Amino acid sequence: MAKKSAAHVIIMGPQGAGKGTQAALVAPRLRLEHVSTGDLFRQVMAGDSELSTEIRGYVDRGALVPDALTIRMLMEYVDEVLGGESEMRGMLLDGFPRNQAQAEALDVALRERGDRLVSVVHVDVPRERLMERLTGRLVCSNCGATYHRRFNPPKVDGVCDVCGATLTQRSDDTPEAVERRLSIYYEQTAPVLDYYRAAGLLLDVDGDRPIAEISDGIVEALQSKFDAD
Ligand code: ADP
Ligand code: AMP
C-alpha cells in the first residue's frame, strides 16, 4: 500500500517564546504530533552512553548539536511516529530547523517522503522578556510539561499537574547558557524566518499575551489552512 503523505507545521521563535507551551496545547487539537528536538536530546542525555556525553557537551553550554546528528535523530523519530497506521496528520516541529542548512535538509527530507509543509508559526516575544521567562521555567522530570514560577505556576508547588512527578530547572536555563542560546537564535535561526516568509508559509503570532489566547489564535489560523488544503 502507498504511504500516506503527511502535512507538517513548524513552530519557531526565540528561546522562551512559549513554543513548547503552545505546541503541547495546539498539537492534540490539530491531530499533529509534537516533536521537540530539545526533548529528543534531553531523553538521550538522561541515559548513560557515549552519545549522551557527547550531546550533553553541546546542550549544557547552550551550543547547537551538529546538524548531521540532529537531522538524523529527527528523521528517525518522524519515521517511527508516522509509520504504520498513524492517525496523525503530521508533525508539529519545535526547535527545528535552527539554521539555514537544517531548513534546506528538511526540504530535502520532506520531498523524499512526499510530505508537505503547511505553515511556519512564528511566536514573537521581545528579547527583554525572554531571560525572565527562561530563568523562572520549571519542567516536569517525567513528562516534560512546562511551567513558570510566576507566569504559569503548577497547582501544587514543585509538582507536575499532569503526572505528579517532581519539577526541575533545565541544566541550560542558567543566565550564561541563555545568553549564548539567544545570541545563536538571533544570528542563525531568525534569518530562517525570511526563508519561510519568502515561501509564503510564515504565520506571525504575538507571543506576549495570555497563553490560552495565543493557542486559540494558532488553532484557528492553522485549522483554516488545513481546511483550504
Ligand atoms: P520555548 O519552548 O519557546 O523555549 P516555553 O514554552 O518553554 O518556551 O516557555 C518558556 C517559559 O515561559 C516557561 O516557563 C513558560 O511557562 C513561560 N510562558 C510560556 N508562554 C507564556 C506566556 N504567554 N506568558 C508568560 N509566560 C509564558
Ligand atoms: P530547546 O529545548 O529547543 O531549547 O533545545 C535545547 C538544546 O538542544 C539547544 O540549546 C541545543 O543544544 C540542542 N538543540 C535542540 N534543537 C536543536 C537543533 N535543531 N539543532 C541543534 N541543536 C539543537
Best residue among 15, 121, 137 to mutate for probing ligand 1, ranked by most atoms within 8 Å of CB: 137
Contacts with 220 (C-beta within 8 Å, 6 or more apart), sequence order: none
Average pLDDT over residues 10-37: 97
Residue 207, ligand 2, Cβ within 6 A = no
pLDDT at residue 82 in the model: 87
Is ligand 1 within 6 A of the CB of residue 13?
yes
| Candidate ranges 82-86, 112-116, 206-210; pick with highest mean pLDDT | 206-210
Closest ligand (CA of 135): 1
Determine contact, residues 188/98, Cβ cutoff 8 Å: yes
Amino acid identity of residue 90, one-letter, is G
What is the structure's pLDDT at 2? 46
Q: What is the pTM of this model?
A: 0.96
Q: What is the DSSP letter of 189?
A: I
Could you identify the atom of ligand 1 that is nearest to the CA of residue 123? Answer: 3
